Chain A
């Protein structure tokens, strides 16, 4: 029996307990297991010039992510999928508040990329009730821009979220956002702009995107979920979304599309976010992330 390179690589990955739970494309661009630290995930800070007062309030609310053992008041640390730590992104305790963590890269090749991650979410467990509608949403996005020599010059921002609850209703569905938000100048230097792409308006449903995720039975127990998002940098089109046992139809999906900016060529940013539906902190926990590319 002869095996080709792809089969050997696949067999090695399947034999590696850390990678076996992922289905990466040929080349792993980043494998972030938060038992190894923050792995380059940082706070999404808003743009400013001259004074921090110029920062959009939607960004000003952000704060730094944490390495968390998912500690609970009633039984102690929950731990990660396969170790002690996960990346924790937590909102402030104000309905509608959001927090975002980001990893900033650039790409080498315009082709298919695959984002896979294991996640869970919970509100702050400060009430003795299930609290399953306290987290509004968890989501993720890419912030991409074509190369400086490419014929098409666009900044492309695919946004997806799992809308868990809205105004107390347990909605549980996947959504996307393609609506551009207006740009505004920051400061007087004409070098910096801001646009609040995570503004709460303009989200649209993914067809057939309802999904009842395992939530467990008290506000402190969590179960980890798998998510996969496929995107083609060549066409700047989304090609697949899966969560646990479900695969979703992205034929109606689109991304925010903005004329290229002068300083963001080949940008490959990925970000996770969480929003709270009540005056209670909401947290998104990411155990591990695998970003891979077909090159």
Chain B
């Protein structure tokens, strides 16, 4: 059997301001993931960093430890790799006051 693999767009053309996060994504079948964030427009101000979060239930979240810079210029892509994450995944960020970023967020998951 080929390894199951899936690309999942979980945020498309969403403007992030302040406390922001992707919708919970359940992927207990996957053993590894890469999350990409693409800026669809130039950021307003400095958007800062995003963090990967895990959850036992899709409702209570805890930082996984991975963090990465959010993209700033339109078309710029940043990413993080995650493994051994259990079932639930999301990324979250606290954008500074006045900052804004329009994102496309994609998980690439592999069994």
Whether A71 lies near B58 (C-beta < 8 A) is yes
CA distance in complex: A43, B9 (Å): 9
Whether A68 lies near B26 (C-beta < 8 A) is yes
The verdict on A63 contacting B26 (CB below 8 Å), with A43-B9, A72-B57, A126-B59 known, is no
CA distance in complex: A230, B76 (Å): 48
* Chain B CB within 8 A of A271 CB: no
Whether B59 lies near A38 (C-beta < 8 A) is no
Give the residue name and chain of the A residue nearest to B106 (CB): A64
| Minimum distance in angstroms from B93 CB to a CB of chain A | 18
The verdict on A64 contacting B13 (CB below 8 Å), with A88-B26, A126-B59 known, is no
The verdict on A55 contacting B8 (CB below 8 Å), with A66-B26, A67-B29 known, is no
CB contacts between A and B, total, < 8 Å: 61
CA distance in complex: A258, B41 (Å): 36
Q: How many residues of B contact A (CB 8 A)?
A: 23
CA distance in complex: A43, B8 (Å): 9
CA distance in complex: A43, B12 (Å): 12
Residues of A near any B CB (own CB < 8 A):
37-38, 43, 45, 52-53, 55, 60, 63-64, 66-69, 71-73, 77, 85, 88, 90, 92, 124-126, 281
A67-B6, A281-B24 known; 17 other A-B pairs, CB under 8 Å?
A52-B13, A55-B13, A63-B8, A63-B23, A64-B8, A64-B10, A66-B26, A66-B27, A67-B29, A71-B28, A71-B58, A73-B57, A73-B59, A85-B29, A92-B23, A124-B58, A125-B59
Residues of B near any A CB (own CB < 8 A):
4, 6, 8-13, 23-29, 40, 56-60, 87-88
